[in-house]
Amino acid sequence: MQFSETILKRKSTRAFLNKSVEPEKIQQILDLARHAPSGVNTQPWQVAVVSGAAKKQLDQKLEQAFRSGSKSNMDYQYYPTRWKEPFKSRRKACGLKMYATLDISREDKQRQRDQWAANYRAFDAPVVLFFFLDESAEKGSFLDYGMFLQSVMLAAVAQGLATCPQAALAEYPQIVKTELDQDENSFLICGMALGYEDCDALINSYRTDREEYSSFTRFFD
């Protein structure tokens, strides 16, 4: 597979086959991703690979927290507190396009809620990865983490696997840390669904738009 094809094939997958992921594939993905760059080689990533009964139990607790109305309490501020253009419009278009793909109307709040609840089960993927960062880290380590996460996702594509990086899986960090015996003072960066894509699932036909590079790039000679 050409590198450009690998990049273009990566997408946020939201429906997976009921098929186990071979442990050696996960190991190979992480073995490649560890070569991602980081400032002064700090390599700040810490990863928990969760599947089987452990995942099922964690899924249930996270979804229950969401459905009960528990307020999310991420370890850091992911989204802006005040949305402005063009980001506000892009955010709105992202959600509307997904619901339109699934034929979920704006008035059908229950179906919207059920679809969002699937986030907390990692869309029923057989594996979910959780990514942690030491509490001493500063903003530079978040940049490093982005490069690591992209490396994980591209390596997964090369293994014939699909992913979905999810901020939603970091909304209840205390639950995740308790279940995984993780240092409570660490940052939970995000989760990532991992598995084999269900190519027949309608939700996986959903694609977000991307701006042309010329809209965000300036050249200086």
Is residue 32 packed enough to be buried (19+ CB in 10 Å), middle (13-18) or exposed (0-12)?
middle
Q: What domains, with CATH codes, occur in the chain? A: 3-207 (3.40.109.10)
Q: Is the peptide bond before 86 cis (omega within 30 degrees of 0)?
A: yes
H helices present in the chain, as ranges: 3-9, 23-33, 52-67, 87-101, 109-117, 139-158, 173-179
- What is the pLDDT, as a whole number, of residue 100? 92
Model pLDDT, residue 139: 96
Q: What angle do CA 26, 11, 166 make, to 5 degrees?
A: 70
**Each residue's pLDDT tens digit, 16-50:** 999 999 999 999 999 999 999 999 999 999 999 99
- Determine how many CB atoms are found less than 10 A away from the CB of residue 194: 28
Distance, in Å, from the CA atom of 148 to the CA atom of 42, rounded to the nearest integer, reads 12
pLDDT (tens digit per residue) in 47-81: 999 999 999 999 999 999 999 999 999 999 999 99
CB 13 within 8 A of CB 204: yes
Q: Is pLDDT above 90 for 83?
A: yes
Assess whether pLDDT exceeds 90 at residue 196: yes
Residues 6 or more apart from 49 whose CB is under 8 A from it? 26, 127, 129
Statement: residue 191 has pLDDT above 90? yes
Distances (CA, A) of 140 to 47, 90, 171, 190: 18, 26, 22, 17
What is the rounded average pLDDT of the residues 174-189? Answer: 97
3-state helix, strand, coil in the chain (%, to 5): 50, 15, 40
Q: What is the mean pLDDT of residues 157-179?
A: 98
Strand partners, 52: none
pLDDT, residue 1, reads 82
